[in-house]
Structure 1
Amino acid sequence: MSESLEALPNLDAASFARPDPSRLFSVERAAHPPRFLLLYGSLRARSFSRFAAEESARLLRALGGETRLFDPTGLPLVDEANEDHPKVQELRALATWAEGMVWSSPERHGAMTGVMKTQIDWIPLSLGAVRPTQGKTLAVMQVSGGSQSFNAVNQMRVLGRWMRMLTIPNQSSVAKAWQEFDEAGRMKPSPYYARIVDVMEELMKFTLLTRDVADYLVDRYSERHEAAERLSTRVAQDAI
């Protein structure tokens, strides 16, 4: 039996709405290839996190997507430069362009690298009226020099939630990464490679399912309520 609004006296009824299935299933679907931004967390010449990101980009293109790989070389630390820095502007433009992301980081001292964190920290929750990450899909991956670990992907999941992204359930953690790539940086056949294929397939499916309704999926009662209160305050002030 449905709860009546009269039983919820603290609820702003004007800002409250039941989900509308037609908004999810009858929406016009975009025809362009899904767009993905891939970030990696190492500046080394032989960077296994970059190799994993490049392999992921190849898979996403084979699945029908369009990809961009951001090179973090030259990106300043947050607060070391202002947002007009060319690398910051490049990263933010790519984040706005993308409909989904892949974050690939080495694990260092039990965490993602500073290079990875710096890239994420330069992407704001909002750029004026634009929210570069909200409602977009995310896949997280890590590479390790030793045994398999999940510290970096767990950290990136927390950040993905903080950035209001739709982080897919699957993830990849490549142990002893130095054994998993050939001299050309291509990933060798292995269960680790198969997992990355799985992750990219899932990322593509989730992106196709959600990109056209992302704004609706992350539309929040609390924000509608706050906007209504601000509007009411302005109307009252204008009437004085």
Structure 2
Amino acid sequence: MSAKSPRLALLVGCTRSVGFGTTVADWFLGLAEEYGYPDVDVIDLTAVALPVATGLPADARPAAVADLARRIDAADAFVVVTPEYNHSFPAPLKNAIDWYRQEWYAKPVSFVSYGGISGGLRAVEQLRLVFAELHAVTIRDSVSFHRAWEQFDEDGRPKDPVGCDGAAKTMLDQLGWWAQALAEARAKRPYTS
């Protein structure tokens, strides 16, 4: 990765008021800053009032949709924090993804997941299919928390920081490599589907 870090967006997919997404996202945000991403755009879906995707043309999008489009378009890379509900990812996350298309093109996406016994990995596998359809590149390595509520202490820090911090660093290194490679490629030749 070059001296200048890619513009990273952290997409928090949990919208439940009693969800665990904020705890996981806050932990990851701290690590991202520590590992060279000082200005992460946190897209918290609880704070973004997106209507249900309708397939409207870009010039007819509601203001909230247009605002988020600019943020997604400005990012060079994404980290999606997702829980697993019923062997899948949350509907509001799919809605947020589905409003956009070209904004995702030729950009890398990585995942931090959490849940019960699977740690959200089934949600991640499905998200990989969704992002492939959007011409995004998903990063092989991810971070997952099995029985997440047992993995964090009362201050929101992982009980095993060595293991999860190491996994996050590996993922961020790969994400940075792909972000730089794809940004250079897009600069040389704009991506079209």
Give yes or no for TM over 0.5. Answer: yes
Question: Residues 192, 151 of structure 1: CA spacing in aligned structure 2 closer, same or farther, 3 A cutoff?
Answer: same
1:202-221 alignment runs, 5 A limit: 202-214=174-186, 219=191
Aligned residue for 1:169, secondary structure, equals coil
Larger-Rg structure: 1
In the TM superposition, residue 37 of structure 1 has moved relative to its aligned partner by: 1.0
Alignment equivalent of 1:152, drawn from 114, 123, 135: 123
Question: 1:227 — aligned with what?
Answer: none
Q: 1:157/1:117 Cα in 2 relative to 1: closer, same or farther (>3 Å)?
A: same
**2:69 aligned residue:** 92
Q: CA deviation at 1:81?
A: 9.1
Question: Using CA pairs below 8 Å that are at least 6 residues apart, which structure has the higher relative contact order?
Answer: 2
Looking at structure 1, the residues matched to 164 and 43 of structure 2 have their Cα atoms a distance apart, in angstroms, of 23
- List 4+ stretches of structure 1 deviating above 6 A: none
| Distance in 1, Cα, partners of 2:182 & 2:56 | 35
- Other-structure match for 1:79: 54
Tell me if the contact between 1:133 and 1:165 (Cα under 8 Å) persists in the aligned partners: yes
Contact 2:119 2:147 in 1 (8 A): yes
1:94–1:187 distance in 2 versus 1, CA, 3 Å: farther
Aligned length: 187
Superposed displacement of residue 148, structure 1? 3.8
1:200 correspondence with 2:175: no
1:183 corresponds to which residue? Answer: 154
**Structure 2 stretches lacking a partner, 5+ long:** none
- Match of 1:37, SS state, is strand
Residue number in structure 1 paired with 2:43: 70
Unpaired segments of 5 or more residues in structure 1? 1-28, 126-130, 224-240
CA distance in 1, matches of 2:126, 2:77: 18
Normalized against structure 2, the TM-score is what? 0.81
